[in-house]
């Protein structure tokens, strides 16, 4: 459903030009949860912004359900790392969640209902009338996730979504993401720099090299489900995969033939 062909991007020109993406080819199937992991500053966010149509890449193309992405497509939602900046402080939680639904041609009542359902799914129906800044960081990120869920996007992009919350909240949000994804059979591309997280959450882990980013590994994660923060993380396959991804991220050669 998502197809990226020979995507490249260079910021600026002349001697100060920064080549962020160096020809990326990637296919994501319907219902897949793909984690993209790579060293910091490798161009992960540039890749995400190109998929979302927020940035016009220098070369290559992105197609979503067969249509080429030129401007921001309306069947896509993004959950950003910085929830406090991404949620609108002048609106209540429920209004934040229902605002994007205006694009769907729903009336006020339908929007409110869909927003409440999404808030229920993330366990925040009690906070609907509150303002985002009255909630903790983890709760605010739940609101962002609810906003994306209510929109029912064909593709959900998540840019370091759990990078600004504490470890406990991070695990909760990872499990929440897995739960809603199973419930709605969503297609998700999640960008992270956390190797463990990519293996725990993903069906597939795509490893990017340092800038200009290229794909250096594409590993299928076959862990027994349902995933669990304790048992999954001590499973031998998990331990093996995270080592494999770790080596790829650091640019080391694998000691044995690839696990995928």
Partner 1 sequence: MTRHNPLDNRLLCGALGVAGLFCVMEVAGRTGLIDPLVFPLASTVLGRAAALVTDGEFLSDVASTLGAWALGLLFTVALAVPAGFLLGSLPRVESALRPILEFLRPIPSIALIPLALAVFSDRFDMKVLLIVYAATWPVLINTMYGLKDVDPLAKETLRSFGFGKSAVLWRVSLPSTAPFIATGVRLASAIALIVGISAELLGGGAQGIGSYVLESGGNADAVEYIIAAAIWAGVIGMVTNGLFVLAERRIFRWHTARTEVV
Q: Contacting partner 1 (CB under 8 A), which of 133, 185, 252, 257?
A: 133
Cα-based torsion angle of the residue sequence 93, 116, 139, 186 in order, rounded to the nearest 10 degrees = -120
Tokens coding 3: 């197809």
Regarding 195 and contact with partner 1 (CB under 8 A), the answer is: no
Q: Which of 89, 123, 224, 226 binds partner 1 (CB under 8 A)?
A: 89
Give yes or no for residue 90 binding partner 1 (CB under 8 A).
yes
For partner 1, the closer CB: 64 or 176 = 64
Which is closer to partner 1, CB of 159 or CB of 244? 159
User: In angstroms, how far is the first alpha carbon of the chain from the final one?
Assistant: 22
Residue of 78, 124, 158, 249 interacting with partner 1 (CB under 8 A): 78
Q: Which is nearer to partner 1, 6 or 75 (CB)?
A: 75
Contact between 200 and partner 1 per CB under 8 A: no
Between the alpha carbon of residue 56 and those of residues 53, 86, 228, 235, the distances in Å are: 7, 21, 39, 41
What Rg do the C-alpha atoms of the chain give, in angstroms? Answer: 18
Report the alpha-carbon distance of residue 258 to residue 220 in Å, rounded. 11
The two counts, helices (H) then strands (E), for the chain are 9, 10
Q: Is 85 in the site for partner 1 (CB under 8 A)?
A: yes
Asked if 213 touches partner 1 (CB under 8 A), the answer is no
CB of 147 to partner 1, least distance (A): 9
Distance CA 125, CA 6 (A): 43
Sign of the Cα torsion 83, 73, 181, 46 reads: negative
CB of 98 to partner 1, least distance (A): 12
Six token digits for residue 192: 């992270």
| Residue from 23, 31, 100, 112 binding partner 1 (CB under 8 A) | 100
**Sites of contact with partner 1 (CB under 8 A):** 52-54, 72-78, 80, 82, 84-86, 88-90, 99-100, 103, 131, 133-134, 151, 157
């Amino acid at each position: 459903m998502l197809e990226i062909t020979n995507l490249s991007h260079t910021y600026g020109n002349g001697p100060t030009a920064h080549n962020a993406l160096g020809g990326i080819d990637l296919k994501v199937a319907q219902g897949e949860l793909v984690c993209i992991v790579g060293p910091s500053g490798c161009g992960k966010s540039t890749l995400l912004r190109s998929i979302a149509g927020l940035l016009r890449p220098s070369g290559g193309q992105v197609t979503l359900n067969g249509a080429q992405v030129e401007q921001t497509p309306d069947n896509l939602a993004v959950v950003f790392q910085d929830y406090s900046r991404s949620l609108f402080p002048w609106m209540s939680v429920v209004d934040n969640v229902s605002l994007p639904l205006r694009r769907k041609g729903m009336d006020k009542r339908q929007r409110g209902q869909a927003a409440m359902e999404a808030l229920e799914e993330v366990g925040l129906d009690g906070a609907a009338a509150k303002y985002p800044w009255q909630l903790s960081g983890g709760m605010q990120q739940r609101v962002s996730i609810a906003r994306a869920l209510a929109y029912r996007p064909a593709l959900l992009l998540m840019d370091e979504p759990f990078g600004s919350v504490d470890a406990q909240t991070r695990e909760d949000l990872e499990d929440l993401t897995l739960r809603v994804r199973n419930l709605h059979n969503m297609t998700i591309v999640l960008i992270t720099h956390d190797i463990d997280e990519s293996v725990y959450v993903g069906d597939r882990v795509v490893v990017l090299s340092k800038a200009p980013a290229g794909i250096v590994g594409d590993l299928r994660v076959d862990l027994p489900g349902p995933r669990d923060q304790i048992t999954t993380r001590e499973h031998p396959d998990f331990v093996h995969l995270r080592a494999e991804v770790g080596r790829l991220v650091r640019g080391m050669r694998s000691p044995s033939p690839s696990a995928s």
